[in-house]
Amino acid sequence: MPSHTALPGNAMPTAPLDTRYQIETPEGIDLPLRPAGLMPRALAFGFDLGLRGLILGILFIALAFLGNLGIGLGSILLFFVSWWYMVLFEVLNQGCSPGKQVMGLRVVQDDGTPIGWSASLIRNLLRFVDMLPFGYFLGAISCLQHPHFKRLGDIAAGTLVVYREQPLARPQLPQAPALRLPFALELNEQRAILGFAERQGELSAERTHELAAILATPLQVSPARAVEQLNGVARGLLGPT
């Protein structure tokens, strides 16, 4: 994408200041993943911890009636819940443990493909080291200093915790007569104008005017009419519906 714009002073920096992680697929397109930071991951883990406690509590009460057999089953259960809960959910439920589901996260491999048994096993066995010396200390440090927020287990397993994609609600474009500009627009100028028209609903009227007024001179209209002009151009770009 060309990096120069009509207004160099207000141009976007070429490398945006966000945490997006690009993967290139064999089809030759770039897909953006959004790695999740420490806080949502800690909350997801907290939720999982609580849920596991609840499951164990209920089952232990039930097993207490079975005597020694119950104790045996109980310790197998404890083993499963403490070491296999995450692995089973991550592999069988599209990379989401219940906590991650609640927080809208999921685990994927570094190349964006779904997580498999071995990677999930590695990242969850090594959780033990992330918890050292207490309360996820090493894991938190690793997570905070890594560009894609990986804890040690993630680095070893080559996995990534990302936000799940949420469905987008499409806004209505403001009504305006379609216009054609007398000069050609570059691709990112075109996207910027479309973005301005689509996101108007989220901005206050004053801010909309302020933003549009920046473009009043190149559009050769008075600042008061710039908003309407830009909406018209956006309509024109979109084409007849």
* 207 binds another protein per the rule CB under 8 A: no
Number of Cβ within 10 Å of residue 87's Cβ equals 20
Per CB under 8 A, 122 contacts another protein = yes
Question: Is the Cβ of residue 47 or residue 83 nearer to another protein in the bound state?
Answer: 83
CA distance 11 to 222: 22
Looking at the Cβ atoms of 48 and 130, the one nearer to another protein is 130
Asked whether the beta carbons of 173 and 231 are under 8 A apart, the reply is: yes
216 counts as binding another protein under rule CB under 8 A: no
Specify whether the CB–CB gap between 162 and 33 falls below 8 A.
Answer: yes
Q: Which of 76, 144, 203, 224 touches another protein by CB under 8 A?
A: 76
Which tokens belong to 9? 């002073």
Return phi, psi of residue 134, to 5°: -160, 150
Could you say whether residue 78 binds another protein (CB under 8 A)?
yes
For 33, the enclosing helix (H) or strand (E) is: strand 30-33
128 binds another protein (CB under 8 A): yes
Nearer to another protein, 6 or 122 (CB): 122
Find the shortest distance in angstroms from Cβ 167 to another protein.
8
Our finding on whether 5 is near another protein (CB under 8 A) is: no
218-221-224-225 Cα dihedral, nearest 10 degrees:
-110
Site for another protein in 82-101 (CB under 8 A): 83, 94
Structure token pair of residue 152: 């040690």
* Nearest residue to 219 (alpha-carbon basis) of 206, 234, 200, 238: 234
Q: Does 24 bind another protein (CB under 8 A)?
A: no
Is the CB of 224 or the CB of 238 nearer to another protein? 238
State the angle between helix axes of 38-63 and 68-83 in degrees (0 to 180), rounded to the nearest 10: 170
Residues of this chain that interact with another protein (CB under 8 A) are 25, 27-29, 31-33, 67-69, 71-76, 78-79, 83, 94, 108, 111-114, 116-118, 121-122, 125-129, 132, 152, 155-158, 165, 167-168, 170-171, 185, 187-188, 190-191, 194-195, 198, 237-241
